[in-house]
Every structure is written in structure tokens, then in C-alpha cells.
A = this chain, B = another copy of it.
Amino acid sequence: MAAITLLEGVNMAIDHEMARDINVVALGQDVGKSGGVFRATDGLYKKYGENRVLDTPLAESLIVGLSVGMASQQMRPIAEIQFMGFIFPSFNQIATAAARMRNRTRGRITLPMVIRMPYGGGIHAPEHHSESTEALLAHLPGIKVVVPSTPERAYGLLLAAIRDPDPVIFLEPKRIYRAVKQEVEDNGEAYPLESCFIDREGTDITLVSWGAMMQETLKAADLMEKEGVSCEVIDLVTLNPIDIPTIVESVEKTGRCIIIHEATRAGGLGSEIAAELSEKALLSLYAPIGRVTGYDTIVPYPKSEHYFMPDKDRIVDEIRKAMEYH
């Protein structure tokens, strides 16, 4: 069992399911012969041929629309959108077709499909290549939205996404595509798509994050530990549905909560979690719920991106503020 990256975890899951189920096909721009811009589908074209790993025309609405059509005939398409910044041309197909087919046909036609894409900043990529607009997707009933933060979770969650009978959006934090290696067994075991992970138990404050921000959050928790602050760290993993009960339980214990995400603050998913807590755990709160997020501005170009991105320092500051609140 070799140590693999998150990216390799993605590849391994797709490979596993393609081997297992002839109905699974991968499609997208450059995913075929060349294996994708990040190599997420590397080797699959050679292994499964051009009928199961399809280089599509450069058209995102088409890619999702094709997937809807294929899934309606009991295939299991895994579509790649090259970067999350380019999901918008396909937004109509996601919102009005993919998310609704089961509902509008009263279950006659269902869509077992995955739309996966690299997302988030921090790799000094050009404009539109650093977006983190998960809140837009998580607001749409009828789809699921999932984000792994480790190689092992990438593998187990993507397996689950591919097997899920409904459309799943799978967001891959590209900043940590190759950042960490982990031993992951190719055992075909899928994770549930409705549970978060408590990555570290703690008693003073709950930190909720997902994707690449988990790294910064864990670093901040380490730093605070040295100051004697015990952080409970939750990897949210599923953005729709959100595992609110686990978060509420944690906050009932710690009395404080900070949510960390890259996305713009206003209307970001931090708001949703804070709102749920302010409803379900109000009396447990010793301090206002903090949100450490991208600012309410457009993701800056690479040279100024660091001003925008949450980092461990901003998280630490917010933790201190919560701990000192009275």
C-alpha cells in the first residue's frame, strides 16, 4: 500500500468504479488522452478506451447536459469541470435539470452522476482559477455537495459520490492536491455522504472548516494548544446536506464556534452554519460565532491573493477574540 496524494485518491476512486461498473464513464475537457490538466484521469483513457473516457468539446453546459442525458439512461457519468471558475456556463443544467429530474418525474428518471472539479485558491493561478463558490451549489436542493480534505477521504467520498443514485458535486481542493500523502488502501469502501469528521477533539472551542482550509485550521489549533486552548476541529466534508447535529453537539460542549472558509463572507456557508447554531445552540454560546473567510470582494489576482485568503494567523486572532469574549 503506497502513500498517495489527494489527486491520486481521486484517480484511484474513478479507476476503481470504472473497473467495477461498465456504466461508469468519465468526460470533460482534456480528461481523455492527456489525462486532465491536473492528471486526475491519468491513465484511464489508455485503460478504458475512448468510449469510456471522453474528451468533450469546450462547452460546460454541454458537459453537464450530456451527463444528465447519459445518467437518465442508467449510465454513471463522472463529468469534470476544468476549474470551479468555469462552472457558471453549466449552472442552468445543474440547477434546472440535474437537481430536479427525480423530483419532476416523481422518481421515474433519476440521475446517478458526479460533477467533479478542482476549486479554491492558493496556487497562484490566473483569474477565475481560484474560485470557491460552493455556497451557490449548496443552496440548490436536489444535489449533494462534497469536499474531501485528505487523500483517504477523497477516495472514500468519491466512491460514495459515484455510487450515489443522485447528482453529487465533488469539489477538490487543488491547493492540497499534492500537499499531503497518505497510505490509502484501494478497498472500495465508501464514506457516507451526510457525516462530518471530528478530526480533533477539544473542549474550549469548535472550529469548522473544509477543503484546503482544514490545513490552516489544524495549524491554528496546534498553535492555540500551546497557549492552552483546546480546539475541537471538524472537517465538514458534506456541504449539502450539512451534518448540523454533530456541530451543534460539539458547540454545546465547547460553547464557542468559528467557521473557516475561503469563500466570500456574505452568503457564504459560514452564514448557514452560524444561523443554524444561533437557532439550535443559542443558549450554549459563550461568545459570538466567528467567521474567518475570504472578504466580500472579488478573488484578487495572484499577486494580491494572500490579502484575501484566510490563514492560520487570522484564525488564531479570531480564536483569541472568542476566548477573551465576555
Q: For chain A, residues 302 to 323, give those with C-beta under 8 angstroms from any C-beta of chain B.
A: none
Bound-state CA distance A8–B88 (Å) is 33
A156 within 8 A of B: no
Minimum distance in angstroms from A82 CB to a CB of chain B:
14
- Is there a chain B Cβ closer than 8 Å to A180's Cβ? no
Given A88-B96, A298-B100, the answer on whether A139 and B279 have CB atoms closer than 8 Å is: no
Cβ-defined contact, B291 with A275, below 8 A:
yes
Contacts of A142 in B (CB 8 A): 298
Bound complex: CA of A127 vs CA of B95, how far in Å? 13
Binds B, one of A12-20, A181-189, A230-238, A280-288: A280-288
A111 to chain B, nearest CB (A): 14
| Residues A232-286 near B (CB distance < 8 A) | 240, 242, 263-264, 266-272, 274-280, 282, 285
Interface: A141 (CB within 8 A)? yes
Q: Tell me the bound Cα distance from A296 to B140 in angstroms.
A: 8
Closest to A257 in B: B278
Chain B's nearest CB lies how many Å from the CB of A281? Answer: 9
> A51: CB under 8 A from chain B?
no
Residues A139 and B278 in contact, CB atoms below 8 Å apart? no
Give 18 A-B pairs besides A61-B89, A271-B274, A271-B276 with Cβ atoms closer than 8 angstroms.
A89-B92, A91-B92, A103-B298, A139-B266, A140-B264, A141-B266, A141-B296, A141-B298, A142-B298, A242-B266, A267-B269, A271-B272, A272-B275, A274-B274, A275-B275, A278-B278, A278-B285, A279-B288
A240 to B61, CA, bound (A): 28
Is the CB of A136 closer than 8 A to any CB of chain B?
Answer: yes
Point out which of A61, A88, A240 has the most chain B C-beta atoms below 10 A from its C-beta. Answer: A88
The number of residues on chain A lying at the interface, defined by a beta carbon within 8 Å of a beta carbon of chain B, is: 50
- 21 CB contacts below 8 A, A to B, read A88-B92, A88-B96, A91-B91, A103-B298, A135-B139, A135-B267, A136-B136, A136-B139, A138-B266, A138-B267, A140-B264, A141-B264, A141-B296, A267-B267, A267-B272, A271-B271, A271-B274, A272-B275, A274-B278, A275-B291, A282-B288
B275 pairs with A99, CB closer than 8 A: no
Query: Distance (Å) between the CB of A200 and the closest chain B CB?
Result: 24
A296 to B99, CA, bound (A): 12
Answer yes or no: A24 CB below 8 A from chain B CBs.
no
CB distance from A5 to the nearest CB of B (A): 30
Q: Is A39 an interface residue (CB 8 A)?
A: no
Question: Does A104 have its Cβ within 8 Å of any Cβ on chain B?
Answer: yes
How distant is A207 from chain B, measured CB to nearest CB, in Å?
16
- Assembled-state Cα–Cα distance A4/B132 (Å): 43
Q: Is A289 an interface residue (CB 8 A)?
A: yes
Verify if A33 is at the interface (C-beta below 8 Å from B): no
Q: Shortest 6 CB-CB distances between A and B: which pairs?
A: A88-B92, A139-B267, A274-B275, A278-B278, A271-B275, A271-B271
Neighbouring B residues of A275 by C-beta, 8 Å: 270-272, 274-275, 278, 289, 291
